[in-house]
Structure 1
Amino acid sequence: MDLNLPLALFAGIVLALSACSSVLQRASLPGPVMALGLGVLVGPFALGVVQLEEFGIPTGTLLEESARLTLGIGLAGVALRLPHGYWHSNPRWLLVILGLGMPLMLAVATGVLWAGLGLPLLVALLIGAILTPTDPVVTTPVVSGSLATRRIPDRVRFNLSSESGVNDGLGYAFVMLPVLLLTAPDNAWQDFALTVLVREVLGAAVFGLVVGYGAGKLFVVARNRGLMEESSYLGFIVPLGLAVLGAGRLLGTDAILAVFIAAAVFGQIIPQTDEKQEGTIDDVVNRFFLLPIFLLIGLALPIDEWVERGWIAVVVVVGAVVLRRFIALWVVRPLLRRVHSRPETLFLSWFGPIGVSALFYATLAERLTGLRDVFVYTLLAITVSVVLHGVSTAPASALLARHRPGRREGSDE
């Protein structure tokens, strides 16, 4: 296949969507929704202009590696969004949403999939684990941009960002347990404890901490001694995410978690003004990576397999996507009364989007287990989430703005 066609097509679509990003956001048609739709349009189920098989790379490998690279860039940007001192001042939210919220979301998603689709329990548990984390890349259009900063309180934006970053990395442990139980049941618990938790998760935390601290100190020294021009700021963000992503995998750690921890530590060390500038630059980079991955997803959607499974599959997956978050947030609501108001909790209980991280874990799990259902149902969940959460971003943020204390009439427009 001549790569000039997809190159021109992808770049042209990204250019067009970026140029109209503000208008699309106000119309509740953010970039991921449009990119997904355009991917379907030019793909094999509509115009047939581009097909993933013609790239010369196995589709699963292409999607997994594209998702991994997008996460490496996206997680760095999410971490840099958080202000200095955030991690010290928000322990209650993090402990509750990660310690109680994630297991509850896993239980609800698994239960809905198991009861509604009649899947074996371990397969339902695996798909439920993939759907549990809030996606940091798809969350970006919800919590960033002029519309979000005017309408959504900072504590909501920052808490959703921090949750999506941390639970995306921790999601690896949730996914690997059912994978091990399916592929190596005799040694599953031992491998999970020693390999997944100790070497991969704990190792990622230590590695990310060391690299993030070192990169932050290097940034400060280079800046204070005048060794770095402002245009070089970008030279810290992208390489930091990609270097940790690559080195973390070579070391056998959970590289996704390592990236977020490294960027989070880095963001707390660099000066606050530079952190804001880094975040602004990174939002642009994120957009460049965000839109192409959803074009790829649109090209890869297994629509014919969804049709074979019937309308009940759509209903059940919608239930799993929506209920997992809604039930979990309202169950832990008594522990978060001092953190978020009822309108804020309602907003957070709706916005738990699924996207690039789910794609990464689905392709990884399908490769390790050979279970096609994992990929088919996860892609359906991603599509459902991108559409539902995408089109509801503007009206939901407007509704939340009306309930902000001290809001003046017309202040969000």
Structure 2
Amino acid sequence: MAGGALVYAGIGVATLLAALLPRVLGRVPLSMPMVFLGAGALAFTLVGALPDPDPVRYGGVAVRLTELCVIISLMGAGLALNRPFGVRRWSTTWRLLAVTMPLSMLAVGVLGWGVLGWGVASSVLLAAVVAPTDPVLASEVQVAEPAEDPDDPGSVEDEARFALTSEAGLNDGLAFPFTYAAVAISAVGVAPDAWLAHWLAVDVLWRLGCGVLVGLLAGWGLRALFFSAPSDKLRLAEHAEGFVALAATFLAYGLTELAEGYGFVAVFVCACTIRAGERSHGYHRVLHRYVEQLERLLTVLLVFLLGGAAVGGLLAGTGWREVLVALAFLLVVRPAAGLVGLARGKTGFRERAVISFFGVRGIGSLFYIAYALQHGQFAEQEAIWRVVALVVIGSILLHGITATPAILLLDRIRLRAARARHGDPSQAPQTPV
């Protein structure tokens, strides 16, 4: 009984802190995930009554919890974007998806095979698992919320925040084909004739196409219901019910998964489609705020459990090669691939540097590894968990410390440029942002 009471009290404290910390921390170079990662490590070290948070042992639970957190965060990311969809408007995003992501995966696969000495299946899985940037843990460097007047020039997102938000929204689903490739290789071997045709036809073309199509259809249908229903009683935007965002999330995800498509893609596409309707309507803010609050609670839980797992044995046996690979990815691979992908784009050097460096890894990576290990046959399961945990924990710490100062610096430079455009040459930056 005492153990249960302690858990309830802890949940109450954690929930209260989830509401207070984003406001208390403000411009301090410290993120909420950092605080709860440390709290989880401390709690599971000192309190013996807490249940075992080992994701290797409880892989099924890890899949469901991380899956829930990711799809809710994808809905929030899509609803937050003010910029209308377009090939040119989203050009930075396409560069990150088409160039940066494949380069990162190739480099990680080589590191897994050459430095860690893993087999092809495990190396491909590692590359797929760390490929997606995270919409959950990157709130400091992402778009905040839907603007009241998205047509106002002052509400246009800066390129860094927009790129990191839209990239995270899309590449969480685009990592799935490569996860399936790793699972297939683990089961039937490397020979392409045993898996490549099915992978291209089903795991790439069908599942991606299905995710986009169902996301669009669900978004159009829900958008009509929210804003254009013939009766005020059915027009949900008039009633400001924020929890309806969950209906949109679960409907798009569930229907797509039933059709064996990529639900992650569908949820983000659905959110962007809803956002495109009645863009100045305040209901978008209502939906986003509800999703954001729920996402924050789930993030607190998962990061807390990750901290507990880290001190409970998940990182046991970690060697210097695994640490080296994790650091190489965070400090070299992603930044270098980002700079290559964004070269000659419309961003200035400082924006390119920020976008390239802040490829935050987090809950999405934890989902993919838990999912793949439930469906494949990988010889290096514990080693894969160690490397991915090191990457995620390293990202929480590294990006948590540096995100606020970097974004504040970009904002100051941007403000000086805006003042210069309005007739104060002394405020002009010496180089492009």
- Which range moved further: 382-391 or 327-336? 327-336
Counterpart contact for 2:219–2:270, Cα < 8 Å: yes
Structure-2 separation of matches of 1:51 and 1:346: 41
TM-score, length-normalised on structure 1? 0.88
**Aligned AA for 1:18?**
A
Greater percentage in helix: 1
Counterpart contact for 1:76–1:260, Cα < 8 Å: yes
Give CA deviations for 1:247-284 in whole Å, capped at 9, x if unaligned. 32232221111111111111112432332443334322
SS of residue matched to 2:137: helix
Structure-2 separation of matches of 1:260 and 1:3: 37
Counterpart contact for 1:78–1:140, Cα < 8 Å: no
Match of 1:354 in 2: 361
Change in Cα spacing, 1:307 to 1:59, as seen in structure 2 (3 Å) is closer
Give CA deviations for 1:369-411 in whole Å, capped at 9, x if unaligned. 243122222112111111111111112122323432426799x
Out of 299, 304, 313, the position equivalent to 2:308 is 299
The answer to whether 1:263 aligns with 2:264 is no
Structure-1 separation of matches of 2:248 and 2:61: 22
Instruction: For structure 2, list consecutive stretches of 5 or more residues without a partner in the other structure.
Output: 146-153, 420-425, 428-433
Give CA deviations for 1:155-185 in whole Å, capped at 9, x if unaligned. 2211211111001111111221122112123
Shift of residue 236 of structure 1?
A: 2.4
Structure-2 separation of matches of 1:379 and 1:183: 24
Structure-2 separation of matches of 1:386 and 1:114: 26
The answer to whether 1:406 aligns with 2:417 is yes
Structure-1 separation of matches of 2:323 and 2:312: 11
**Aligned AA for 2:19?**
S
Aligned length: 402
For 1:167-246, list aligned pairs within 5 A. 167-185=171-189, 187-222=194-229, 225=232, 227=234, 228=236, 232-246=240-254
The answer to whether 1:317 aligns with 2:326 is yes
Change in Cα spacing, 1:301 to 1:229, as seen in structure 2 (3 Å) is same
**Aligned AA for 1:82?**
L
**Aligned AA for 2:197?**
Q
For 1:329-348, list aligned pairs within 5 A. 329-336=338-345, 339-348=346-355
Change in Cα spacing, 1:231 to 1:311, as seen in structure 2 (3 Å) is farther
**Aligned AA for 2:384?**
V
Task: Give the number of the structure whose alpha-carbon radius of gyration is greater.
Answer: 2
For 1:14-413, list aligned pairs within 5 A. 14-43=15-44, 45-52=45-52, 59-87=58-86, 89-144=88-143, 154-185=158-189, 187-222=194-229, 225=232, 227=234, 228=236, 232-274=240-282, 275-301=284-310, 304=313, 306-336=315-345, 339-371=346-378, 372=381, 373-404=383-414, 405-406=416-417
Shift of residue 112 of structure 1?
A: 2.9
Counterpart contact for 1:69–1:242, Cα < 8 Å: no
Once the two structures are aligned, what percentage of the paired residues are identical?
24
Structure-2 separation of matches of 1:192 and 1:117: 26
SS of residue matched to 1:352: coil
Structure-1 separation of matches of 2:312 and 2:321: 14
Counterpart contact for 1:51–1:299, Cα < 8 Å: no
Structure-1 separation of matches of 2:314 and 2:136: 26
Shift of residue 6 of structure 1?
A: 3.1
Counterpart contact for 1:134–1:352, Cα < 8 Å: yes
Counterpart contact for 1:353–1:385, Cα < 8 Å: yes
SS of residue matched to 2:163: helix
Change in Cα spacing, 1:335 to 1:11, as seen in structure 2 (3 Å) is farther
TM-score, length-normalised on structure 2? 0.84
RMSD: 2.9
Counterpart contact for 1:134–1:168, Cα < 8 Å: yes
Structure-2 separation of matches of 1:116 and 1:327: 19
Counterpart contact for 1:237–1:282, Cα < 8 Å: yes
Give CA deviations for 1:127-162 in whole Å, capped at 9, x if unaligned. 01110111111122322559xxx9x96222112111
Instruction: For structure 1, list consecutive stretches of 5 or more residues without a partner in the other structure.
Output: none
